[in-house]
Amino acid sequence: MNKEFSAHFEALLEAQLKRIEEMKAQGDFLDYSSLDKIIIGVCGGDGIGPRITAESRRVLEHLLSDKVAAGKVEFRDIDGLTIEHRAETLSAVPDDVLAEIKKCHVILKGPTTTPRKGDKWPNIESANVALRKALDLFANVRPVSVPEQGIDWRFFRENTEGAYAAGSQGIRINDDLGVDFTFVTSQGTDRIIRLAFEYAKAAGKPRVTAVTKANIIKTTDGMFLDAFYRIAKEYPDIAADDWYIDIMTAKLVDEKRRRDFSVLVLPNLYGDILTDEAAEFQGGVGTAGSANIGKRYAMFEAIHGSAPRMVDEGRDIYADPCSMLRASAMLLEHIGEVALAQKLTGALDAAASDPSAPVITGRSTGATCAEYADYIMSRL
């Protein structure tokens, strides 16, 4: 057993060392303004994914109609990211699907099912995690805004390392012992922290906050925190501080303190947890979109799951599209269509206080996904 464990651990380390060399060789971010045509791939996913993704695409096509007509933007359907196809091929992202995705510049992706113990599906890796690795989408960016409460947060979650880097590759030693692995690299840490500071600088934000548990997880979280303060010295006009993940979860619900936070940068697992909590202030995870940013590719999606039960019960037509619509606004911003992004975000924000806006309940007591998208387009 010791030899088997050692060989497995050695293979994991070799993969991470190879990844470090690949990161060192990377160039600059893709300049979308230099492209003759931007290709937007649309992956519906499964569960409610195809429904809410289709409505978001419809809104994007409405906003980008001039660019589509001029041949400057192309929407491209990418099928096969369903749990059925992934289970059939025993892969998180089938090779043929990944090849089509790599032909695009940005991806609008619906939720996908991740099997868990006891499911009818095989134990394949999360499609999200696999895509983040395959496309090196190192930054998961999630904004949360509730103006009336003074909340304007933007979270920069490291997307390819930490506890999720080898989440499906832990080892059950025996009936009494299981081992998982957490990996952190200086290259991966530096680039997410620098991206957070660069955003704060460009957006005029006064403060960047790191969130770790470096007092307990001393090696990997300690490495993240050391990098944070080293890079912070390059931005003397921006305040830098850090909090531990446990107390930060409390401070986000503290009405006296939460207004103080602006830009937050976190390792992978903490970012996943904290952004779900933060989304509740905005109306829940169904209202929050996210961006997955790399130097060559970018992917935009909801932060919630695929809700297969809604499909089983015939309620998918009543799914809330707000998460995908907010992700669509982030897509527009990323490709340089800032004015259109602001227009879409403004319509979504206004809907929250408009008594005539359709109400999504997830059931026949409320509006359908399509009706809500129609309303948003009427406000653009």
Instruction: Tell me the average pLDDT across 94-114.
Output: 95
According to the model, what pLDDT value does residue 123 have? Answer: 82
- ∠ CA 181-183-184 to the nearest 5 degrees? 155
pLDDT tens per residue, range 47-93: 999 999 999 999 999 999 999 999 999 999 999 999 999 999 999 99
Higher-confidence residue of 171 and 206: namely: 206
Q: Which of the four pLDDT bands, split at 50, 70 and 90, describes residue 170?
A: confident
Mean pLDDT taken over the chain = 92
Q: Which of the four pLDDT bands, split at 50, 70 and 90, describes residue 147?
A: confident
Task: Please give the Cα distance from 41 to 215 (Å, whole number).
Answer: 42
Q: With 80 as the cut, is the pLDDT of residue 2 above it? A: no
pLDDT tens per residue, range 21-35: 999 988 889 999 999
- Cα dihedral sign, 162-165-167-170: negative
Q: Which residues contact 248 (CB under 8 A, 6 or more apart)?
A: 211, 264, 274
Instruction: Tell me the average pLDDT across 255-267.
Output: 94
Give the number of other Cβ atoms within 10 Å of residue 214's Cβ.
21
Q: With 90 as the cut, is the pLDDT of residue 122 above it? A: no
According to the model, what pLDDT value does residue 339 have? Answer: 95
Q: With 70 as the cut, is the pLDDT of residue 1 above it? A: no
According to the model, what pLDDT value does residue 194 have? Answer: 96
According to the model, what pLDDT value does residue 115 have? Answer: 84
Task: Please give the Cα distance from 263 to 119 (Å, whole number).
Answer: 38
According to the model, what pLDDT value does residue 343 have? Answer: 95
Q: Which of the four pLDDT bands, split at 50, 70 and 90, describes residue 314?
A: very high
Q: Which domains does the chain have, with CATH numbers?
A: 31-137+294-380 (3.40.718.10)
